[in-house]
């Protein structure tokens, strides 16, 4: 195997509060190959967001190393895109201008990316909404805008922190399918945080199971299901075996 | 709604203004009728028609005194906007600065600023400077406090989002914090302009040199209540026009939906 795209070694993270220390992550090791779709699965409060934010360079670590493309991460990288749990769109900007925000803040030339912005909006079924404002879009549509925004500068690594957890079940299924379609098209490495077992199985090449806090990776499960995947795959016995297996791991 | 069409806007504007206008007109008519029926002396309460007549008769005098009031008010307000927003922004940029300065600002805010008018005369004389400075100190506090509160109200997740795309401090301020603060800043502007008018009028009462405030005191001294009411009317019109100008600007700038707490 060539150099890992994302490598996490002996990662430890303790939050310092005024009164005490909270050990969020005790010991995490991860090796993620280029183009892999990885889910990080664990109960709420176990440290998934913490891990993802450290990989994104948005939080300092306590000890250990996190490297992306062979370089230690200490601040946000230009080749990473992050999608948060909420869409966090700027209400004063149109959808197109929201998608273009990273181009401005990264100091790139806007003319060179405007076509790509339209292409991403087209890809996510939002081409008719470029000039709308966020409040005119549903929650699912807003989160799709956030995905377009995370992809606009053509990053190699996409970090997604429970991006669909606020959506209703049906919208969520559709979004998962759409996300896979985007991933097949652009072939990014994805780290996808979730506490939904079915979502993790449906999307991933491998699922990293995190223990309750203080977190360690308790298990890595390779999901050997054919791609491209459609929602119908959730009815197959193989799919449900993975779900049952993961549920067993989490409940212990 | 941000993107409703022009015709709809005009219609909603008319229906918005229509109701209050009718009520206002009915009140004027009642006023006129009651004063005549009860034979209230003019020196106590002139009728609306007498006030309008007086305004026409003394139009030139009223205008001569309106300009200094308007211009000094705008100077004091402008100064408050620049200094107030500047300080509000600095407070947000430098947390250390905030810790030492903000308690003082809050403390000063409690001081009834009009009480400073006599002091300003002692320090700065009876001229424009005293009046502008009084308007300034009154209008200044809502500007600082609202600017600062507006910046602080920024969603931390939005700042984190910006950081994830390598935004620096300046970009975060210009593209996230400042636009986020705009609705608050406009609230500050609306309070500020109202306060600035109060400041100028009080200062004109005390300095007694020129302006509508002076004209009011002068008319009161002559028991010329119609002229007094005419001056108050012109002053009210100035206040309403200034306020409306800010509201119009706000409608142009803040086109997005803002949480209900600000409306
Ligand atoms: N800024 C912080 N200060 C102190 N403790 C924190 C902070 N952020 C998160 N934590 C704690 O760290 C643990 C992991 O949080 P998080 O990574 O958000 O979990 P998850 O995303 O899996 O729900 C939680 O117990 C949480 O209370
Ligand atoms: Mg989380």
Distance from CA of A195 to the nearest CA of B (A): 20
Q: Which residues of chain A have pLDDT under 50?
A: 1
In terms of residue numbers, what domain contains A131? 89-154
Q: From residue B51, how far is each of A216, B35, B212, B233 by CA, in Å?
A: 82, 13, 15, 9
- Nearest residue (CA) to ligand 1, atom 9: A50
Average pLDDT over residues B238-262: 87
**Within a domain: A96:** yes
On the question of pLDDT at B77 being above 60, the answer is yes
Q: Return the HEC string of B169-236.
A: HHHHHHHHHHHHHHHHHHHHHHHHHHHHHHHHHHHHHHHCCCCHHHHHHHHHHCCCHHHHHHHHHHHH
Instruction: Show residues of chain B in contact with A88, CB under 8 Å.
Output: 155, 157-158, 161
Summarize pLDDT for B38-74 with one digit per residue, the tens.
999 988 999 999 999 999 999 999 999 999 999 999 9
Instruction: Show residues of chain A in contact with B171, CB under 8 Å.
Output: 104-105
The SS3 assignment for A63 reads strand
Measure CB to CB from residue A84 to each of B3, B161, B175 and give the nearest one.
Answer: B161
Whether A105 and B167 lie within 8 Å, measured CB to CB: yes
Instruction: Show residues of chain B in contact with A106, CB under 8 Å.
Output: 165-166
Residue A35 CA, ligand 2 centroid: distance in Å: 23
**Within a domain: A150:** yes
Measure CB to CB from residue B160 to each of A58, A81, A105 and give the nearest one.
Answer: A58
The SS3 assignment for B49 reads helix
Q: How many domains does chain A have?
A: 1
Q: What is the pTM of this model?
A: 0.88
Residues 6+ apart with CB under 8 A from B163: A58, A76, B172
> Tokens representing A201?
């199985």
The SS3 assignment for A30 reads strand
Cβ contact A40:A204 at 8 Å: no
pLDDT at A171: 86
Summarize pLDDT for B124-141 with one digit per residue, the tens.
999 999 999 999 999 999
A71-85 in b/e form (b: 16+ CB < 10 A) is eebeebbeebbbbbb
Check if the interface score ipTM surpasses 0.95: no
Residue A186 CA, ligand 2 centroid: distance in Å: 26
**Within a domain: A103:** yes
**Within a domain: A141:** yes
Q: Is A208 exposed, middle or buried (0-12, 13-18, 19+ CB in 10 A)?
A: buried
Residue A66 CA, ligand 1 centroid: distance in Å: 19
Distance from CA of A248 to the nearest CA of B (A): 34
B59-93 vs B225-253: helix crossing angle, rounded to 10: 40
pLDDT at B259: 66
**Within a domain: A56:** no
pLDDT at A91: 96
pLDDT band at B6 (very low <50, low <70, confident <90, very high): low
| Helix boundaries (H) for chain B | 6-37, 48-57, 59-93, 95-110, 117-124, 128-152, 156-164, 169-172, 178-207, 212-221, 225-253
| Helix boundaries (H) for A9-138 | 48-55, 95-105, 114-123
pLDDT at B1: 40
Instruction: Give me the sign of the Cα torsion angle B94, A87, A53, A24.
Output: positive
Q: From residue B123, how far is each of A53, B23, B128, B139 by CA, in Å?
A: 57, 46, 13, 20
Q: Apex CA B229: angle with CA B228 and CA B231, to 5°? A: 65
CA distance A172 to A161: 14
Peptide bond into A214 cis (omega under 30): yes
Residues 6+ apart with CB under 8 A from B162: A101, A105, B171, B172, B175, B176
Measure CB to CB from residue A76 to each of B166, B171, B258 and give the nearest one.
Answer: B166
On the question of pLDDT at B263 being above 60, the answer is no
CA distance B260 to A192: 35
Whether B157 and A82 lie within 8 Å, measured CB to CB: no
pLDDT band at B243 (very low <50, low <70, confident <90, very high): very high
The SS3 assignment for A157 reads strand
pLDDT at B261: 47
Q: Which residue is closest to B167 within chain A, CA to CA?
A: A105
Residues 6+ apart with CB under 8 A from A73: A54, A55, A56, A57, A66, A67
Task: Please give the distance of CA B85 from its chain centroid, rounded to a whole number.
Answer: 15
**Within a domain: A108:** yes
Window 127-186 of B, Cβ < 8 Å to A: 155, 157-158, 160-168, 171, 175-176, 179, 182
pLDDT band at B15 (very low <50, low <70, confident <90, very high): confident
Dmax (CA) for chain B in angstroms is 75
**Within a domain: A146:** yes
Q: Which of A84, A95, A105 to mutate: most B Cβ within 10 Å?
A: A105
CA distance B211 to B127: 11
**Within a domain: A188:** no
Q: Supply φ then ψ for residue B245, to 5 degrees.
A: -60, -40
Instruction: Show residues of chain B in contact with A59, CB under 8 Å.
Output: none
DSSP letters, A169-223, are HHHHHHHHHHHHHHHHHH--EEEEEES-HHHHHHH-SEEEEEPSSSEEEEEEEE-
């Amino acid at each position: 195997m060539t150099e890992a795209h994302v490598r996490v070694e002996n990662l430890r993270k303790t939050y310092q509060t005024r009164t005490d220390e909270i050990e969020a992550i005790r010991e995490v090791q991860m090796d993620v190959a280029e183009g892999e779709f990885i889910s990080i699965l664990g109960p709420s409060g176990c440290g998934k967001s913490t891990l993802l934010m450290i990989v994104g360079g948005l939080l300092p670590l306590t000890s250990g190393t996190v490297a992306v493309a062979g370089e230690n991460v200490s601040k946000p990288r230009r080749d990473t895109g992050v999608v948060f749990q909420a869409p966090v769109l700027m209400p004063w900007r149109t959808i197109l201008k929201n998608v273009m925000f990273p181009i401005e803040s990264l100091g790139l030339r806007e003319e060179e990316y405007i076509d790509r912005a339209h292409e991403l909006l087209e890809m996510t079924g939002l081409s008719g909404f470029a000039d709308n404002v966020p409040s005119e879009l549903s929650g699912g549509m807003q989160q799709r805008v956030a995905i377009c925004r995370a992809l606009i500068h053509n990053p190699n690594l996409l970090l997604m922190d429970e991006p669909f957890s606020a959506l209703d079940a049906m919208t969520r299924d559709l979004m998962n399918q759409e996300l896979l379609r985007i991933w097949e098209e652009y072939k990014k490495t994805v780290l996808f945080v979730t506490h939904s077992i079915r979502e993790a199985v449906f999307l991933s090449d491998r699922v990293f199971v995190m223990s309750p806090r203080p977190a360690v990776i308790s298990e890595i499960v390779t999901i050997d299901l054919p791609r491209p995947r459609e929602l119908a795959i959730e009815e197959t016995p193989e799919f449900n075996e993975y779900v049952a297996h993961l549920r067993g791991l989490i409940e212990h | 709604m941000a993107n409703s069409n022009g015709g709809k806007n005009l219609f909603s504007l008319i229906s918005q203004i229509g109701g209050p206008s009718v009520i206002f007109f009915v009140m004027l008519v009642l006023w006129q009728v009651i004063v005549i029926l009860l034979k209230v002396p003019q020196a106590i309460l002139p009728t609306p028609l007498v006030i309008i007549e007086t305004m026409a008769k003394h139009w030139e005098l009223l205008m001569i005194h309106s300009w200094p009031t308007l211009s000094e008010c705008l100077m004091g307000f402008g100064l408050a906007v620049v200094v107030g927003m500047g300080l509000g922004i600095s407070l947000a940029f430098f947390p250390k600065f905030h810790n030492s300065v903000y308690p003082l600002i809050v403390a000063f805010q409690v001081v009834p600023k009009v009480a400073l008018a006599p002091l300003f005369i002692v320090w700065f004389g009876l001229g424009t400077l005293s009046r502008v400075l009084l308007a300034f100190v009154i209008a200044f506090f809502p500007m600082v406090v609202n600017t600062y509160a507006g910046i602080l109200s920024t969603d931390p997740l939005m700042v984190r989002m910006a950081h994830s795309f390598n935004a620096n401090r300046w970009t975060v301020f210009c593209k996230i914090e400042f636009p986020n603060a705009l609705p608050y800043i406009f609230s500050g502007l609306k309070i500020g302009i109202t306060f600035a008018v109060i400041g100028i009028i009080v200062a004109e009462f005390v300095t007694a040199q020129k302006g509508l405030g002076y004209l009011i005191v002068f008319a009161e001294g002559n028991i010329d209540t119609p002229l007094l009411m005419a001056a108050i009317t012109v002053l009210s019109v100035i206040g309403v026009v200034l306020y409306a100008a800010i509201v119009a600007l706000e409608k142009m700038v803040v086109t997005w939906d803002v949480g209900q707490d600000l409306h």
